[in-house]
Chains A and B, each alone.
Chain A
Amino acid sequence: MNATRTICAATGFWLCLGGVVLAFLWHVSVGAKAIPLGTVWQAITAPQDGVFDHVVVRDLRMPRAIFALSVGAALSVAGALMQGVTRNPLAEPGILGLMAGATFAVIIGIGWFGLAGTAYVPLFAAIGALIGAVLVWTIASAAPGGATPLTLILSGAAVGGFLYAVESAAILLNEDTFRNFRVWLSGSLAGRDMATYLWALPWFIGGLIAALLIAHQITALAMGEETAAGLGVDTFKIKVAALGAVVVLTAAAVSVAGPLGFVGLVIPHLVRLFVGSDYRLIVPFSAIVGAGYVTLVDIAARVVLAPIEISTGIVTTMLGAPMFIWLVRVKL
């Protein structure tokens, strides 16, 4: 990176960050009762106990906006890491079984063990994500020709479909327990409790830090394993670290918002258009842009058909699916 590029990257980063702050404030101001941005700002910087709008902002709306930021950042970074390590442009937690595995495990944890709102939710999600990823990869490897982008997608679709069917059956059999999870299952930020988020928070932070630490090695790995090894990258170690980061980030995101499809696919590709192929830039920019993207999507989910609210996951999927089709046509 030469000096001009560094300056460009830094400027771009701060601009994006500014955009995210605006999206955040807009997100908080929109709702059943519109709250002016000035009041929102006041509620954040100098809250007063008696003011009703301030209470709404701080207790109801801000948590949801923070969930949106965290989930967007986590899923985008997870997608970027997966695409870099596997050199598969269609790699993404939702497509390759991690999200389905995590969702399934959370349903099991909450339905059978009554773990809602506890520290075990992200742990269950992580174990589920890991099993999902291994399952998809094993099935794809057994196919003729091995684990290619195409066999991985097919295997991911099969595993995802199967797990979703089992989840649906489990929910039908036990409607009382899962009353609140219908919505969660389609990916939603509505009505999530702060307890779950706080338990997931260390996972978000740990996963993002790990991703930033290995970003430089991921750039080398994206040029092929032998090239990376020649440059002095311990390829096995980095792949394990990347898998760990991806599992942790997916688990944190699913614990909070359920499965939000295609976020990890759309954002890294969008970011690459502007910052190129260096993961030292792709990872932080994916985090920022992804955070802003899910925040904006969640605004849309709430206002487009107001007063009816659409699940955030439905909107990310509607926006992401065309991108997926485009990538299949151009890159596969």
Chain B
Amino acid sequence: MGYGDTTVVKNIDLEIPAGQITALVGPNGCGKSTLLKAFARILKPTTGHVTLQGQPMTSYATRDVATRLAILPQGPVAPEGLTVTELVAQGRFPHQTLFRQWSPGDRDAVERAMRLTDLEDFADRPVHSLSGGQRQRCWLAMVLAQDTPLLLLDEPTTFLDLKVQVDLMALLSRIVHEDGRTMVLVLHELNLAAAFADRIVMMRDGEIVAQGTGAEVICPEELRAVFDLRSDVIADPVTGRPVCLPRTSNHVATPIIAAAAE
């Protein structure tokens, strides 16, 4: 699968288990977003096929797919002036028809999504007036309102502060494990994947290099093979999950600029 004549992802045979968070990780341009788009039938594979609940993706109508899986693309932009509630309500699109535009079920789903993402106080604010983390929660609420068993998120934590990243990941984990949904994430931040994902799929040059639990795949050998990264891996003293510590050749560098004050 790829764009135009360029093949980005090849030799793939991947199954996503239900009820878990699967994280796709790998260096920039390794094809993780492309693979996610293929799952969401935004890209059609040139050879091979994608199946959803055992049926070929092509056998579903566009709208039917959207009631089974939701995708949050990378860096989405809300049209100016759209309020939080209006954005979240867009998630109900696949459940609506020309003659049944808005039902009590739609309202409940929107309210529930906004409660889960803690957005009730912002309901009538324009989306573009919010901070990056709040905005990301709005988009998350939109795909949650879509009320699908499968959620696909492309780099949901990019450009967010560390604290906001962690809060968001904890929220995603809660949604999956308490709500019984399935989630596939493309993640940049390896340690976030290690801390929150049930399964990690490592990709390089469009192919899957390793997959398994964090403890199985996060190790210095794999990280060198996938990222060309020298690193040590230690266990988080609290959770026991692996944590990657990158190493460079010169451990101590002279600061180029420094400040001190009493």
Chain A residues proximal to chain B, CB less than 8 Å: 1-2, 87, 213, 216, 219-220, 222-224, 226-227, 229-234, 272-273, 276-278, 280
Contacts and interface: CB of A to CB of B under 8 A. Distances in A.
Q: Which 7 A-B residue pairs are closest in the complex by CB-CB distance?
A: A232-B66, A232-B94, A230-B71, A226-B73, A277-B79, A232-B63, A277-B82
Given A1-B89, A276-B86, A224 B42 contact: no
Contacts of A219: 79, 90
A12 to B, nearest CB: 15
A224 B73 contact: yes
Contacts of A220: 90, 93
A278 B96 CA distance: 15
A229 B40 contact: yes
Interface string B85-117: 111011101101010011000010000000000
Interface residues of B, number: 38
A230 B77 contact: no
A51 B65 CA distance: 65
A232 B65 CA distance: 7
B145 to A, nearest CB: 10
A272 B80 CA distance: 9
Interface of B: 37, 40-42, 62-67, 70-73, 76-83, 85-87, 89-91, 93-94, 96, 98, 101-102, 107, 143, 146, 152
Contacts of A280: 101
Contacts of A2: 85, 107
Contacts of B85: 2
Contacts of A224: 73, 76-77
A230 B42 contact: yes
B143 to A, nearest CB: 7
Given A216-B96, A223-B90, A229 B81 contact: no
Contacts of B37: 226
A223 B81 contact: no
Contacts of B66: 230-232
Nearest to A89: B80
Nearest to B127: A277
A232 B82 contact: no
B40 A223 contact: no
Contacts of A223: 76-79, 87, 90
Contacts of B93: 216, 220, 231-233
Contact of B62 (A234, A273, A277): A234
With most chain B CB atoms within 10 A of its CB, the pick from A1, A87, A222, A229 is: A229
Contacts of B81: 272-273, 276-277
A210 B93 CA distance: 19
Contacts of B63: 232
Contacts of B89: 1
B10 to A, nearest CB: 22
Nearest to A83: B79
A277 B86 contact: yes
Given A223-B79, A224-B76, A231 B91 contact: yes
Contacts of A213: 98
A277 B41 CA distance: 27
B79 A231 contact: no
Contacts of B72: 227, 230
B89 to A, nearest CB: 7
26 contacts: A1-B102, A216-B96, A216-B98, A216-B101, A219-B79, A219-B90, A223-B77, A224-B73, A224-B76, A224-B77, A226-B76, A227-B73, A229-B62, A229-B71, A230-B66, A230-B70, A230-B72, A231-B94, A232-B62, A232-B63, A232-B66, A233-B62, A276-B83, A276-B86, A277-B80, A277-B86
Contacts of B70: 230-231
A1 B79 CA distance: 16
Nearest to A279: B79
B186 to A, nearest CB: 13
B66 to A, nearest CB: 3
Nearest to B66: A232
A270 to B, nearest CB: 13
A230 to B, nearest CB: 4
Contacts of B62: 229, 232-234
Nearest to B77: A224
A231 B40 contact: no
With most chain A CB atoms within 10 A of its CB, the pick from B63, B86, B87, B102 is: B86
A81 B99 CA distance: 21
B183 to A, nearest CB: 14
Nearest to B79: A277
A75 B260 CA distance: 64
B71 A226 contact: yes
With most chain B CB atoms within 10 A of its CB, the pick from A2, A213, A229, A230 is: A230
Contacts of B79: 87, 219, 222-223, 277
Contacts of B67: 232
Nearest to A212: B98
A51 B41 CA distance: 68
Contacts of B71: 226, 229-230
Contacts of A230: 40, 42, 66, 70-73, 143, 152
B39 to A, nearest CB: 11
A222 B94 CA distance: 16
